[in-house]
Amino acid sequence: MTPCFIDLSAKNLNFYHECLITRIGNINVISGGSRRIHMIHSMKKGLKLGSPILLGIIPIGMTFGLLAQQAGLGVWPTLGLSLFVFAGASQFMAVSMLHAGVGALAIIAATFVINFRHVLMSASLAPFLSSWSKFQRLLLGATLTDEAFVLHSLHFSQGDVNPIAPLTLHFAMYVIWGSTTVIGFNLGALIERPEVWGLDFVLPTMFIALLIPICNRHPAAFAALSGGAVSVALYILGAGNWAVFIGALTGATAGTLLDGRA
């Protein structure tokens, strides 16, 4: 019998006796205790790796709830946006368009355009998920965010494709996003100008913090710079939400081509 893994943070050595693999012929049989310990270890790993994301979305979720309240939405429609859309940029855009009196069809179309990047992100992660079940892939795709995509791209490419850690992170993100939306909504009446507190800059700050660590290779850095430059240029020229999609597509294409030549 050999330990299936060693957790150096465990203080009680008896902890390891539950984590054994019994070899029967050429078959490894993992005990129930070992499986539970491995699952808990993976869940903790997902929360630890995603802790910057979890902390970062707290003020963003509160800001969204606050802005939705000030735009005149009720608490249930506001919470519904967070639970069923679960996409910060689209939710902020939808609230601003509703406040401006834009029709539902226009809001749906704009949301589709700005969220189309999720098709590209999902396609990028799909090759790493061949060992996952269809339900696990569905859960990941339905709750995938920009921040989580950056994190998964890094770890999946290193061979770490255990579904427990990323799905635990996504569940925590979902719960925190919904709960902070309600908190922010209730605080809406108390904060008249969110920009005074810098809450309107939380989202881009978190994206920049997530982007910098993965730009340690030339293709990734070139993709980020080219995609950002195209997005900004198109936005200035009046492309609106299409600037985000076209910029993302340009950056991904440029990075892929450069990586193929490296």
Short-list 156, 186, 183, 187, CA closest to 169: 156
Short-list 249, 196, 223, 248, CA closest to 66: 196
| pLDDT attached to residue 206 | 56
In angstroms, the CA 140 to CA 100 distance is 33
DSSP element (H, E) containing 206: helix 202-211
| pLDDT attached to residue 22 | 40
How many residues belong to the chain? 262
Q: Which two tokens stand for residue 201?
A: 């800059």
Q: Which two tokens stand for residue 48?
A: 């630890």
| pLDDT attached to residue 105 | 80
Residue reference for tokens 């950002």: 228
In angstroms, the CA 156 to CA 125 distance is 8
**Full DSSP string of 161-196:** --SHHHHHHHHHHHHHHHHHHHHHHHHTTT-S-GGG
| pLDDT attached to residue 243 | 78
10-residue block means of pLDDT along the chain (262 residues)? 44 41 40 72 88 89 85 89 88 78 77 81 89 92 89 84 90 95 86 65 62 72 84 86 74 74 56
Q: Is the dihedral of CA 199, 200, 201, 204 positive or negative?
A: positive
| pLDDT attached to residue 259 | 67
pTM of the full structure:
0.63
| pLDDT attached to residue 104 | 80
